Structure 1
């Protein structure tokens, strides 16, 4: 599995609730090879992260252009600034029910 981690700078005008992110998450989940998305907001104002998970390096690579568009749309709609985007191979994962 592979991951793309995007870092954002938020502002007081940022709308980071579930309702405002639903359309964005639906767009990401519709991309071929996507396995999920997490959106994290810092307990301290000013920072947020998104983590998207991909079934293969090929899916990660193929999604790059669409992801760039979705990220730009989301940051504009939610009054955030994109600080960085990095890609990783997932070395280990575990979730409890």
Structure 2
């Protein structure tokens, strides 16, 4: 089964309000059709965070772009973080210890 991922890179700073998105933001992302999950990573390198959303198909990821852009823009404004990049990938290997 193919899976796809959207990886967003953020620049944080002293004015950044939180080290993670709100439950509302996370919930809205998870409600998008085909979204399988979301991870938010705080970088060890100061000022750099990442989010990873996982998608059940390339079509679901593609169809979510507009809604995801809106959610990302609202979250970055609320949390005072800058969106640096948004990239999309096919997940070619995964293994989570259960």
Q: TM-score range by the shorter chain?
A: over 0.9
TM-score by length of 1: 0.93
Runs of 4+ off more than 4 Å: none
**RMSD across aligned positions (CA):** 1.1
Segments of 5+ residues of structure 2 without an aligned counterpart are none
Partner of 1:48: 49
Distance 2:63 2:15 in 1: 32
Question: Deviation string for 1:27-62 (max 9, x for gaps)?
Answer: 000000000000001122100000000000100000
User: How many residues of Structure 1 are paired with residues of Structure 2 in the alignment?
Assistant: 96
Question: Deviation string for 1:12-38 (max 9, x for gaps)?
Answer: 1213345x5211100000000000000
Segments of 5+ residues of structure 1 without an aligned counterpart are none
TM-score by length of 2: 0.92
